Amino acid sequence: MKVRNKKLKKENRKYGRSTFVVINFLLLTSLFILVSSCGYHMVGSRFLPFDSINIRHIDNRTYEPRLEEKLHNALSEEFINQGIKAEGVSADITLEASITRFELGAIGAVDESVREQEIIMLVDIKVIDKGDVIEFKSMGSPILITFQTTGTVPQTVDLRDRATIKASREIARDIVGRIIMNYAK
């Protein structure tokens, strides 16, 4: 009786594993068919009608110095990361940008002393493609960018500068993503 029970347990484990694999395969296949039938598809720079972009001088309409340099560098890096060359006037499309708002907001205070601040930065974008113009207004960072203000003045300035660069990178990612999605339609 014990020998027979051992054989049955082995057979159950054997069929249990194969049944588990088959069920997982069927579920994954069903999920793939469901997602692909809903119109979702992968989009990348390989399918875009352009492979280079001219990022014109960025207009800084705020009092914050050197924001235009930080945003220009972030945009160039992000386009290159997506396989799109950042070139001069011979590029396929042109991007114009204006930084319209830069503010610091207090989000943490102790005994009436600000300990943490957020960076609020908004950018207007214009993409020019053979006479067609696509505009994105008031684009900001999709995530909250903060920095500590509890150290010395040079430390706080350094943290603020790093947070500004991070905000520029996040905005650049959002801009490039929206441009790619706009052309993927």
More confident: 21 or 62: 62
Q: Angle 145-146-151 (CA atoms, 0-180°, nearest 5)? A: 150
φ, ψ for residue 58 (rounded to 5)?
-90, 130
Could you please report the per-residue DSSP string of 7-51? HHHHHHHHHHHHHHHHHHHHHHHHHHHHHHHTT-----GGGSS-S
Say which range, 20-29, 59-68, 116-125, 157-166, has the weakest mean pLDDT. Answer: 20-29
Q: For residue 10, is pLDDT > 80?
A: no
For 86-143, how does the pLDDT look when each residue is reduced to its tens digit (9 = 90+)?
888 788 899 999 999 999 888 887 777 778 889 999 999 999 988 889 899 999 988 8
* pLDDT of res. 37: 53
Average pLDDT score, the chain? 81
For 134-154, how does the pLDDT look when each residue is reduced to its tens digit (9 = 90+)?
899 999 988 889 888 887 888
3-state SS of the chain: helix, strand, coil percent to 5? 45, 30, 25
- Arithmetic mean of pLDDT, 47-73: 90
* pLDDT of res. 64: 93
Residue 96 near residue 60 (C-beta atoms within 8 A): no
* pLDDT of res. 28: 67
Say which range, 24-33, 51-60, 128-137, has the weakest mean pLDDT. Answer: 24-33
* pLDDT of res. 42: 47
State what percent of residues in the chain have pLDDT above 70. Answer: 74
* pLDDT of res. 97: 95
- Arithmetic mean of pLDDT, 75-89: 89
Confidence of residue 45 (pLDDT cuts 50, 70, 90): very low
Give the 3-state secondary structure of residue 95. Answer: strand
- Could you count the other beta carbons within 10 Å of the beta carbon of residue 140? 16
